[in-house]
Amino acid sequence: MQSSYFSSLPEMGTDEVFDLIKAFSADKYPYRANLAAGVYCTDDGGSWPLNAVCRAESTLHHQADPTRHDYLPIAGDTQFLKVAQDLVFFFEENPQEMAIRSQERSLRVASVQTVSGTGANHIGAQFLVNHLNTNQVWVSDPTWTNHHIIWESVGKKPRLYPYYNTSNNCFDFHAMMQTLEAQARPRDTVVLHACAHNPTGLDPSKEQWMAIADMCQRKQLFPFFDLAYQGFASGDPSKDAWAIRYFYKQCPFIEMIVAQSFSKSFGLYGHRAGALHLVLADESDEIKGRAVAHLCHLLRCEISMAPKFGSMIVKTILSDQELTAIWLKDLQVMSKRIKSMRHALYHELIRLGTPGSWEHIINQIGMFSYTGLTPQEVNALRQQSHVYMLTSGRMSISGVNTKNLQYIANAIFKARQI
């Protein structure tokens, strides 16, 4: 038999999240629960197309724009990029305040449209490797798994800064600062979660963000913000972008990148709408133009241009005050349900007398909770109760609802008896 050129390919591990989703789908147990996927679900356990998105889709359908299937420019849809910039740096819920902020728009942000947040992270990483000559890349321990894969794909194996204290299930600010102060060097890139840290659900306080910004400025570190949950985390887009805006306002200017995703905050998971924003110290059109040209070069050889329909929905919503108001109400629906499930799960675990402390579940924010469950306990949840979550103990709170809450809490109680 003729051997293949690829017969010596090494084994490649699969993605745990998608493996668990597959296993859950194949499981016929009636009380199974999917706590692995980072997708918002209703209290009935189903998908939820946002009201604002449905309205925007109807508007686009009736407009029947004959150019709706045309190619975008390499850099992306200009109007989409404007509303994407405004959402990160200038958005206010009050229309009058928003108008004032928009008039104060800075010219020092170079933006391109990407394939959601993953694409923004990858294009940003490749750009920095090519042009910043970044020495080291620092990511939190733990962080979103894709951060490691993305940076390794561009030739940089990330170093870890402490983030999560396993003894008390809290954010370890002191250890993070101590490590970066001692070991980070000028031009190092520091990847930061703007809000709703994945996987821990733990964010720095405003005072801690101020200290992190001061350190980045003083040590000449390059912040790389991953913004995946703006508006979804707290229900307030301005609040969730606070850290980025604080960094942005510093003087001397702090140069940085923001990788922006619209998957969670608009429920556009499959449409892959995203943007990358490069914040520059130089306000000249020439430098910004050069930066966009280099980013476009990377986009051209990777995707040519980003998907169109998701960005059309986003710009339709954010360009219309009525649709924006509906979207803000949608954010409240999602964020409030997540918060209510956190409190309900906490109180049920306490009622059952589940061993351990569970306050961290209600102190965390956003889609995920780092439960503190061990790999052995997580395995017991899968094998005994058909409850699926990551081996790390990361739980998607969105998978919890009023119908399965008691079952999940009982499953955790039983797993803790092992």
Point out the residues that are catalytic: 144, 226, 264
DSSP character string of 345-391: HHHHHHHHT-SS--HHHHH--SSEEE----HHHHHHHHHHH-EE--T
Both structure tokens of 78: 């200009």
Residue 35 contacts residue 391 (beta carbons within 8 Å): no
Both structure tokens of 38: 């980072």
Query: What does the CA dihedral 73, 79, 80, 81 come to, rounded to 10 degrees?
Result: 80
- How many Å apart are CA 207 and CA 231, to the nearest integer? 21
Give Cβ neighbours of residue 397 (< 8 Å, ≥ 6 apart). Answer: 35, 338, 341, 342, 345, 367, 368, 369
How many beta carbons lie within 10 A of that of residue 22, not counting itself? Answer: 11
Three-state DSSP state, 257: strand
Give Cβ neighbours of residue 265 (< 8 Å, ≥ 6 apart). Answer: 229, 230, 231, 232, 237, 331
Cα 265 to chain centroid distance, Å, stands at 10
Residue 68 contacts residue 307 (beta carbons within 8 Å): no
- How many Å apart are CA 164 and CA 176, to the nearest integer? 9
- How many Å apart are CA 287 and CA 128, to the nearest integer? 15
